[in-house]
Amino acid sequence: MSSPIAGKRIILGISGSIAAYKAADLVSQLRKREAEVFPVLTRGGAEFITPLTLQTLARQPVSVDLWKEGQGWQPGHVELADKADLMVVAPATADVIAQFAHGLAPDYLGSLHLVARCPVLIAPAMNGKMWEHPATVANVAVLKSRGVHFIGPEDGMLACGYEGAGRLWPVEGIVEKIENLLLASPAS
């Protein structure tokens, strides 16, 4: 029996957090459910996990550089966004959240966010002080007011040695949220 999200197209943005390594597990879990996963790495994300790893797991090309996309006439990021059922950013840094809130498109991921008309899910991962900073709090509020969904962050020991909010939500929980959002969305 096939998964209820089989064939769904998911853009997976991965930004520059140490939690980027968990994207490999997220891609694997979504592929086991027969979803199509299109990884998009920020430059910072590519410092923590390689495009080759994600490409192998997703069985899709990995987008990193907006200036090196596709060979056709249509911008690849527009075509990808048009076909997506869901856009997920896990992990999402404070920088990516700020870019999205302010409509900035300095890279492939930011450009995708501006052209995507599918639901968006953000799974933050950062230092707790960054998460609680008034600028981040305001940026999250702006995105929520636009209908962007959030999951996490989780409380716990952070990579920086501090304890508190900022850990990436567990992969299993992110997958469950993805399934719920895809099943609640109108059929594409």
Alpha carbon distance 92, 99 (integer Å): 11
Token pair for residue 29?
């879990």
SS percent in the chain: helix, strand, coil, step 5: 45, 20, 35
Catalytic residue among 138, 141, 159, 160: 160
Alpha carbon distance, N-terminus to C-terminus of the chain: 21
The Cα–Cα gap between 38 and 88 comes to: 10
Would you tell me how many other CB atoms lie within 10 Å of the CB of residue 178? 28
E-state strands within the chain: 9-14, 36-41, 86-92, 120-124, 149-150, 154-157, 163-167
Whether 160 is catalytic is: yes
Contact 11, 116 (CB under 8 A): yes
Token couple for 58: 């997703």
Q: Catalytic residue numbers?
A: 160
